[in-house]
Amino acid sequence: MTKKILILLFILIPINANALIEVDITRGNLNPLPLAVSPLSIDEESRKGFEKILKKENIGSEISNIVENNLRISGLFNPLDKKAFLQAPDIANLKPRFEDWNLIKAQALITGKVNYIDNKLRVEFRLWDVLAAKEMMALAFTTVPNNWRRVGHIISDKVYERLTGEKGYFDTRIIYVSEEGPKTQRIKKLAIMDQDGANNKFLTLGNELVLTPRFNPASQMVTYLSYFKNMPRVYLLDIETGTQEVVGDFPGMTFAPRFSPDGKKIIMSFAKDGKSDIYTMDLENRIVEKITNHPSIDTSPSYSPDGKYITFNSDRSGYQQIYVMNNDGSDVKRISFGNGLYGTPVWSPRGDLIAFTKLHKGKFYIGVMRTDGSGERLLTENYYQEAPSWSPNGRVLIFYRETKTNSKGEGFSAKLWSIDLTGYNERQIKTPTDASDPSWSSLLSN
Amino acid sequence: MRLNKILKNTLLVLTACLVLSACATKKEVATDIKGQMQGDVYTGTDTVEYLADGVPDRVFFATNESILTTASRETLRAQAAWLRKNPNINVVLEGHADERGTREYNLALGERRANAAKDYLMTYGISSDRITVLSYGKERPVDSGSNPLAWSKNRRSVTVKAN
């Protein structure tokens, strides 16, 4: 569903290898790069064609709005007000008058053109370095018109990658748990949406409690916990077909599932007789392996990106702390030694960091540490927040936050938030209902 | 790299701020509130229902604990006596945690609490065949408050008739 629909037809001009403007991704939003996103130009005939199919008056402007919004929420760019633009979109795309763009302090400029050809959407865009008066990149895509939002996300990813030197994370989706109703009787449904909140869709009806959905590496399958028939078990859901199945045949609660980085196994906890251990199940041959064996609670397992190690939390020391072990369960080492409790460790897709939730003196923190436990950094503090999930480029964390209720027990809400690894650029992600347990997909196109 | 240095300094300051503000927050003292808590275990009866006359349906736990208090053991002995008198009744022990923990750990903790109750019922002669354990973690609080008393009511194992 994902990879085949967007066909990258041809690259117009090879990327210029000269050193032009660069954005330092490690700095946070101290100094976002001012840039101009000129609306993609569109001829009248194409405009009418798309208006008919997509019910959008000007698809060129809509796509550039997506690009502008993505770049803004990244915190690394400052898209300038379109009202200040002096040059018309169609002419800018042919040859920008760099003096004009310089005048409004744009350092980078994005221009482009949209055409309606053979019932297809053809988009070309260019990225310009205004100060150097040079083209940095030019690409064109042809796809079915319904993919217009994804075209906007892919352009954003290309621009982000060209200017920061790292892969973007805009052409991605978030799976999460939608929440409604009173705190004592929440109705929870699996929901999926684009990274920017568009195309929200519910995947379950809310008849049973569902928790902790997580994507597989191809972002087509989801593993999650469902209380179907009041038996909390780990399930596997194929997003395309809607097929669901129980993972394994365990005589009790299975929970805290995640995929292995190759997508072939599910790692999870199985609770029995007051103790929870970590197990894996191979999805091909259904072989179940017991990874930890300890009378404590071992849960929230997450693989390193190379699949060689597993991080998890355990209360074997008396309190919840983070551990790392080999993927066969050998050589278990505690890595969290700070004050407080540590949980929900998640290995960064870059491999160098583990994100976690920390509870200390009545406050919850989202933080990161190196995989040996050194270099702990707390990114955000709140009344209650937990369950970080990494953006595919390992630069942003998404998590959920719950509010404190008042003396009457009113005012509860749960929302999704994101924060940069730098600790800057904290943002709420809008969802149609309350939301929790977010999981970020991989890049849908590359 | 100069930028990296700046970044590191910024982060040090940021981390220091977080640590300081954490230190500055008041310790939440979970003491005896209106005679309804002892330590931080709920001792009131607001939320308690009865399986039969004199047979309370639930027991309460301290934060992060699954140890049965003296009062809990008394409640469970009453439940065991009632179950012995009613051999056709099976029960589900529903284990719960308060909202001050991570979701997955709380699921395990709820299971551990319900099992503590199950083990005790078994030592008083109730067959494990008659008992099912079900953890809800922090998903089904009885009290939606965000205070120590509400949390103490929510840290519980509830015995529910299964048939």
pLDDT in tens, B141-153: 999 999 999 999 9
| ipTM for the complex shown | 0.93
In this prediction, residue A446 carries a pLDDT of: 60
Question: Is residue A370 less than 8 Å (CB to CB) from chain B?
Answer: no
Instruction: List phi, psi (to 5°) of A102.
Output: -60, -40
DSSP 8-state code for residue A185:
G
Name the burial class of residue B32, with classes exposed (0-12), middle (13-18) and buried (19+) by CB atoms within 10 angstroms of its CB: exposed
CB contact under 8 A, B108 and A343: no
* Nearest Cα to Cα of residue A192 among A132, A237, A142: A237
Boundary (domain end) residue, out of A145, A164, A183 = A164
Facing A184 at nearest CB: one of B100, B103, B142: B142
Q: A212, B19: Cβ pair inside 8 Å?
A: no
- Name the CATH code of domain B30-161 (choices 1.10.260.40, 3.30.310.10, 3.30.565.10, 3.30.1330.60): 3.30.1330.60
Could you tell me if A389 and A268 lie in one domain?
yes
B25 vs A28, A362, A387: nearest CB:
A362
Q: What is the CATH number of the domain that holds A361?
A: 2.120.10.30
pLDDT at residue A19, as a whole number: 53
Please check whether residue A55 lies inside any domain of the structure.
yes
Which amino acid type is present at position A323?
Answer: Y
Do A187 and A90 share a structural domain?
no
Q: Is the pLDDT of residue B19 over 50?
A: no
Is residue A177 located within the same domain as residue A107?
no
Query: Between chain A and chain B, how many beta carbons pairs sit less than 8 Å apart?
Result: 143
Nearest to A184 among B111, B119, B144 (CB): B144
Q: What 3-state class would DSSP assign to B74? A: helix
| Probe site for chain A from B20, B102, B142 (most A CB atoms < 10 A) | B102
Looking at residue A27, which CATH number applies to its domain? Answer: 3.40.50.10070
Residues A76 and A221 in one domain: no
> Would you call B19 exposed, middle or buried from its count of C-beta atoms within 10 A (0-12, 13-18, 19+)?
middle
CA–CA dist A382, B55 (Å, integer): 41
Single out the residue in A132, A164, A196 at which a domain terminates: A164
What confidence score (pLDDT) does residue A31 get? 84
The DSSP line for A5-43 is T-EEEEEEEPPP-S------GGGGGGSPEEEEEPPPEE-
Q: Are residues A108 and A195 in the same domain?
A: no
Look up tokens 């994507």; give the residue.
A215
> What are the CA-CA distances from residue A95 to residues A89, A128, A228, A348 (Å)?
10, 10, 60, 42
Q: Is the same domain home to A160 and A197?
A: no
> Is residue A1, in this structure, part of any structural domain at all?
no
Amino acid at B96: H
Given a contact cutoff of 8 angstroms between Cβ atoms, the answer to whether A400 and A356 are in contact is no
Asked whether residue A249 falls in the same domain as residue A140, the answer is no
Instruction: Indicate the residue of A182, A255, A407 with minimum beta-carbon distance to B107.
Output: A255
Do B105 and A297 meet the contact criterion of CB atoms below 8 Å apart?
Answer: yes
A230: distance to nearest CA of chain B, Å? Answer: 8
User: Does the distance separating the beta carbons of B102 and A357 come in below 8 Å?
Assistant: yes
pLDDT at B26 over 50: no
B4: nearest CA partner in chain A: A26
How large is the average pLDDT for residues B78-102? 98
Residue A184 contacts B where some CB pair is shorter than 8 Å: yes
Instruction: Tell me: do A129 and A227 sit in the same domain.
Output: no
Minimum distance, in Å, between the CA of residue B84 and any CA atom of chain A: 22
Residue that terminates a domain, selected from A164, A197, A229:
A164
Both A141 and A235 in a single domain?
A: no
The verdict on A104 and A180 lying in the same domain is no
- Cβ-based neighbours of A224, under 8 Å, separated by 6 or more: A190, A210, A211, A212, A213, A214, A234, A235, A237, A257
Residue B32 CB partners (closer than 8 Å, separation 6+): B38
- Distance, in Å, from the CA atom of A92 to the CA atom of A76, rounded to the nearest integer, reads 24
Partner B, chain A 163-182, Cβ-Cβ below 8 Å: 182
Kindly identify which residue of chain A lies nearest to residue B21, measuring between CA atoms. Answer: A381
* A67 and A85 inside one domain: yes
Q: Where are the domains of chain B?
A: 30-161
Give the domain extent around A62.
7-164
A141 with A192, same domain: the answer is no
Task: Mark yes or no for CB contact B104/A362 under 8 Å.
Answer: no
When scoring A23, A29, A30, A183 by the number of chain B Cβ atoms within 10 A, the one with the most, hence best to mutate, is A183
> Would you call A135 an interface residue with chain B, using a CB distance cutoff of 8 Å?
no
Tally of structural domains, chain A = 2
- Choose the mutation target among A186, A311, A320 for the interface with B, i.e. most B CBs under 10 Å: A320
User: For an interface test with B, which of A297, A322, A323, A368 has the most B Cβ atoms less than 10 Å from its Cβ?
Assistant: A297
**Contacts B148 to A, Cβ<8 Å:** none
Sign of CA pseudo-dihedral A263, A265, A267, A268 = positive
Sheet holding B58-60, edge to edge: B58-60, B156-161, B91-96, B131-137
- Closest CA of chain B from A423, distance in Å: 8
Residue A432 tokens read as 């149609």
At A332, the amino acid letter reads V
**Structure tokens that stand for B45 in this block:** 């009866």
Whether B22 shows a pLDDT value over 70: the answer reads no
Residues of chain B positioned with their CB less than 8 A from the CB of A27? 3, 6-7
pLDDT recorded at residue B17: 39
Give Cα A343 to chain centroid, integer Å: 20
Contact across the interface for B146 and A255, Cβ inside 8 Å: no
pLDDT in tens, B151-162: 999 999 999 999
- Residues 6 or more apart whose Cβ sits within 8 Å of residue B152: B30, B36, B37, B40, B41, B42, B60, B98
What is the model's pLDDT at position A105? 95
Chain B CA closest to residue A227: B136
Task: With a cut of 70, list the residues of chain A below it in pLDDT.
Answer: 1-20, 25-29, 446
What would the two tokens of residue A146 be? 């319904």
Answer whether residue B65 shows pLDDT above 60: yes
Which residues in chain B have Cβ-Cβ distances shorter than 8 Å to A186? 139
Query: What pLDDT is attached to residue A27?
Result: 61
With an 8 Å Cβ cutoff, is A230 touching chain B? yes
B14 alpha-carbon distance from chain centroid: 35
Hey, are the CB atoms on B7 and A27 less than 8 Å from each other? yes
A388-423 pLDDT, tens digit per residue, is 999 999 999 999 999 999 989 999 999 999 999 999
The counts of H helices and E strands in chain B are 4, 8
Alpha helices in chain B (DSSP H): 2-24, 70-85, 103-123, 148-154
